[in-house]
Structure 1
Amino acid sequence: MPAKFITTKKTVPFGPEMKELYCATLVKNREVDLHEIAEALSESSTLNPVDCYGVMVGMAAQIAKHLQEGNVVNIEFLGTFRIRAKSTAVESPELVTEKTIGKPSVNFRPSVLMKQRISKTQFVTKK
């Protein structure tokens, strides 16, 4: 099924003046949850939905554990996860502590295979 888009108007700086331009904005269709993915995986394998769900929940916990340890997690067909956090700049090395580190977040970089798969996405105007 193709991804849908709408046309949106943007006002952007264009030299000394503002100019109205138009661009495509992708429309979020619906949210797919872990249960739905587990059901779909079950239909294409010999595992039941509960087993698929359990493996994915366990995988998410293991990814989080490894990220907390400072590891980079590479899921070959999905992509790479890294932990990151912003840090406040201070005037001397002695002032750098765990308190100068902000909240951690996760950086995700899709694998080559994932990029190839999504590159085949087709787009249609939302009606």
Structure 2
Amino acid sequence: MDITIHTTFLPHDDPDAAVAFYRDALGFEVRSDVGEGTMRWITVGPPGQPGTSILLAPPAADPGVTEEERRVVTEMMAKGTYGWILLATPGLDAVFAKVRDAGAEVVQEPTEQPYGIRDCAFRDPAGNLIRVQELR
């Protein structure tokens, strides 16, 4: 079987802030931006990796989602417990400094974990947890 990860989903609650964060702080390309107002579906991804993307989408945009479910999703986003992603780079310290200097909420500075991975963590503008591992 030949299968790859093509796109993963993260919610956003402010499309302009999401674009600025993923484009300017992480250096991702904006590949598409569809919709208007807060109802925008934005696809971003690392340069040189056209087959891998993150879809930044409005949370609970499905018309079948109840107001109570939307409220729960919004609360989970604010706590950083709804969406998260794990990225990797050979230049962890440089990535951490760039994202920190862009104003991201730092959750963990670069740390050597007991399980052998050096990583850091921060939140995007919607509260999603972004962990970045160092490639060795």
The bucket for the TM-score relative to the shorter chain is under 0.3
Structure 1-normalised TM-score?
0.23
Structure 2-normalised TM-score?
0.22
More helix by share: 1
